[in-house]
Amino acid sequence: MTLHLGLLASSFATVFLAELGDKTQLAIVTISGTSSRPGAVFAGSASALVLASLVGAAAGGSLSSLIPTDLLQLAASLGFLLIGGRLVIRSLGQGDGSAPTAADGAADD
């Protein structure tokens, strides 16, 4: 087994950029802010990301032997497009004042 530095670098860059500012990083910041042990938070979160990446890499390798790569990429693209579209529609719907806020619930008490 040889190490492919180009593939390693592109995987690292893709995951690093994708994870910046996402909900996982925000959760880690929150947990770390409530703990006096940031090293333990780092170790736990790094282990979780490594395990999730292992599952993804194993599943991707298995799926690519059964389904053509182009079809897998198309399915992933459509999935992200669907999720993104739903988030945009949901955020536009909340801007019209129809969604309750925390202040609305507090007024009822």
Is residue 89 included in any domain, yes or no? yes
Determine the Cα–Cα distance for residues 90 and 86; give it in Å rounded to an integer: 6
pLDDT tens by residue, 95-108:
655 555 544 444 44
Determine the Cα–Cα distance for residues 16 and 20; give it in Å rounded to an integer: 6
**Containing domain of residue 35, as a range?**
14-96
Please tell me the pTM assigned to this model.
0.52
More confident residue, 83 or 20: 83
Determine the Cα–Cα distance for residues 64 and 69; give it in Å rounded to an integer: 6
C-alpha closest to that of 18 among 60, 80, 100: 80
Q: Which of 26-30, 91-95, 99-103 is modeled with the greatest confidence?
A: 26-30
Is residue 104 included in any domain, yes or no? no
In 3-state terms the chain splits into helix, strand, coil percentages (rounded to 5) of 80, 0, 20
Total domain count for the chain?
A: 1
Is residue 64 included in any domain, yes or no? yes
> What does the pLDDT average to over 11-15?
87
Q: Which pLDDT score, from 0 to 100, does residue 73 have?
A: 86
